[in-house]
A and B are shown apart, each in its own frame.
Chain A
Amino acid sequence: MANVSEVFRDYAESIEAEHEVREKVRDKLRVIETLARESSAMLQHVHQPSGFAKIADITAQAERHLVDQIRPALAELSSSVPASQFYRYYAMFNYTLMRLCHLCSLIHFLKEGQLLTRAATAQDWLQIGQSRADGFYLEVDDYLGGLIQTSNELARFAVNCVTNQDFERPVQICEFLSTLLAGFRLLNLKNDNLRKKFDSLKYDMKKVEEVVYDLSIRGLTKSPPTGALEDKGTSPNPSQGTPNAEGDDGPVKPQDG
């Protein structure tokens, strides 16, 4: 039957075309994956004594690597995905985007001790869009997944901080994770990957809390951690002690929790 073969011929052409696009995307992706691995390896050094001593150097190096190498490679990837077909090929690269978010937020935290926002990650660091209108963009899911990977990393780092005689950083990490956890709790997660990752965040929190506990009962920390999210203006909250250098209004008395 003539028109049956027409239908299939047409289809064969379209999958050939799709296949070509996928090959291109795969090539660009491989480049980025290699670079991401390099970056990860660089950052791993902070866990070791030799690297711990020069965290600032390592983060600077990683940041340069990101700007000089990863960013252009990402631009290449972005241009290999046909405009307005972002989601058609999304499953090929979304995990990689997640890893890149993780690297960005990790570097930023090691440098500044702050959470890197999605806007900053997309616009400043990766230089990709934030919504469909921008073509190639950073989905919320990937940003959040990256944050959790960072949390996993920082939980491990907290332990190594203590090993390297830094007793303050774990406190800082504890507050950071506590903020993240509170934030994540606001999400209505479905039973997908993000949900599973969220569970790992809770374990990270627990681990770091234990580290901080170990330090504080031995009097090794100068300032016990505050509940970083306290609504500092209102009456009794189960706060854990004097606030640190966050600059708040007025003293908060320690309360029995």
Chain B
Amino acid sequence: MALNGNSSHVKSHRGGRNNRGSRGGRGGGGGGGHYSKFHSREPKTLPKGVDPNNPIIQQFQEHARILDEKNDKYERIVKLSRDITVESKRVIFLLHRITCEDDKPAVLGEAEIKLGDIRKRLWYYVASELVNEDPYKFLRAYTGGLQEYVEALSFYHYICYDELISWEKVQEELHFQRNAHRPKDEVKDPLDPKAAQARETIPTKEQTEDEDAGDSVSVAIQEEAHPEPKSDSSGGNTNLKGSTAKKSLQVLVPKTDFVLGLADLTGEVMRQAINFIGLGNTQACFDLMEFLHAMHDGFLDVGYRHDMRREMSRKINVLNHSLQKVENACYSINVRGSEFPSKTHLADLLLNSRESHVADPTGPMGDETDGPTDCDPYL
């Protein structure tokens, strides 16, 4: 299920399981993607003795259809969100492998590609699903992936630019533009029969509508690695009725979810600080502590206001522990640094400290394992 750096086809990376690369954004008709094909779109066989002409039965069939569409879409988004979570965690592990300045270009380059992949191969499809939908209706389905992605993205941003990423930048990342005949899907795997089917059924329904959902902002974001192919691609096999105007999609990033992702970032920053001690870079620890203090101040300001989710207070709790760990580390550096035969010894000590009631998933050398602090209740 890995997003291989070298694989460039959605198909192959999803190969091992049912392809649920949802091709259609709309709830209606056959555009719901492969998964929806499991649910017959014909009227259900009614139980014996039930009159299909009874208007009440017909109404309930309609209710069933509406509920099915919503549930199917929700499930598709949940699955994408899980993938996003996994891939984002991988980016974070990757970023933790930076040991010195020289490592940075290579690792950051790879991270950038991976983040781009998450965006194009996963978030794009979430955005497709959300076309003409109220994003808050499906927020629960993708908030887990979103928070994890914010964590990865902001960590990357921090290492690159030494600053905290803004909400606007994150929201921009999840903006997409789509050409009328969706060349991106077509170039992926022209031989795939499902894609061919999708090509035939989708474009007409979606591209003829020109009303704006109302939430999508028309900011144009160009794909970095794959510029939109201009009208070359296979314009022939789609029966386009509408214009070739670009359509704007986005995945809404509510500010609260963004901030929750930032809370997770602080955990990673803490780990990085400790890792750097082990690598002999004690100055980094102090720098990161300054950053954590700023984050802590910010959270104290907003974290306890009304309507906050329980999750927020839980994360602030974790932040407090992370901060304490780093503060203790800095203290140890100053007071006890000379006592230790090697820097790694000090790092070991700091990592194994158990002030935090939350189990610290990092091992002695800063090797990452998945820990309970990263679990998301929505998954």
A187 CB contact (under 8 Å) in B67, B291, B297 = B67
On whether the beta carbons of B294 and A5 are closer than 8 Å, the reply is: yes
Bound-state CA distance A10–B215 (Å) is: 20
Bound-state CA distance A85–B136 (Å) is: 8
On whether the beta carbons of B305 and A179 are closer than 8 Å, the reply is: no
- For A197-234 the 0/1 string (1 means CB < 8 A from B) is 00000000000000000000000000000010111100
On whether the beta carbons of A4 and B294 are closer than 8 Å, the reply is: yes
Given contacts A4-B294, A8-B299, A230-B51, contact A188 B68 (CB under 8 A): yes
Bound-state CA distance A83–B134 (Å) is: 11
- For A1-29 the 0/1 string (1 means CB < 8 A from B) is 10111111011101100110010000000
Chain-A contact segment, one of B53-61, B116-124, B363-371:
B53-61
Chain-A contact segment, one of B14-22, B42-50, B177-185:
B42-50
Q: State whether the Cβ of A117 lies closer than 8 Å to any Cβ in chain B.
A: yes
Count of chain B residues with Cβ under 8 Å from any Cβ of A? 52
Chain-A contact segment, one of B161-169, B271-279, B324-332:
B161-169
Q: State whether the Cβ of B137 lies closer than 8 Å to any Cβ in chain A.
A: yes
Which residues from B are CB-within-8-Å of A95? none
Q: How far is the CB of B270 from chain A (nearest CB, A)?
A: 15
Q: State whether the Cβ of B372 lies closer than 8 Å to any Cβ in chain A.
A: no
Bound-state CA distance A87–B140 (Å) is: 11
On whether the beta carbons of A1 and B167 are closer than 8 Å, the reply is: no
Given contacts A7-B166, A229-B50, A237-B49, contact A183 B255 (CB under 8 A): no
Which residues from B are CB-within-8-Å of A188? 64, 67-68, 71
Which residues from B are CB-within-8-Å of A144? 63
On whether the beta carbons of B137 and A87 are closer than 8 Å, the reply is: yes
Bound-state CA distance A185–B51 (Å) is: 14
On whether the beta carbons of A118 and B255 are closer than 8 Å, the reply is: no
On whether the beta carbons of A140 and B133 are closer than 8 Å, the reply is: no
A118 CB contact (under 8 Å) in B53, B59, B305 = B59
On whether the beta carbons of B134 and A12 are closer than 8 Å, the reply is: no
Q: How far is the CB of B154 from chain A (nearest CB, A)?
A: 10
Within 8 A of B (CB), among A105-123: 115, 117-118
Q: State whether the Cβ of B227 lies closer than 8 Å to any Cβ in chain A.
A: no
**Smallest CB-CB separation from A232: which chain B residue?**
B51
Within 8 A of A (CB), among B299-318: 299, 301-302, 305-308
On whether the beta carbons of B67 and A140 are closer than 8 Å, the reply is: yes
Q: Which residues of A contact B (CB under 8 A)?
A: 1, 3-8, 10-12, 14-15, 18-19, 22, 83-88, 90, 115, 117-118, 132, 140-141, 143-144, 179-180, 182-190, 227, 229-232, 237-238
Q: List 5 A-B contacts (CB under 8 A).
A: A3-B164, A10-B255, A87-B139, A141-B67, A187-B60
- 4 additional A-B pairs beyond A4-B298, A117-B59, beta carbons within 8 Å, are A1-B164, A115-B56, A183-B59, A229-B51
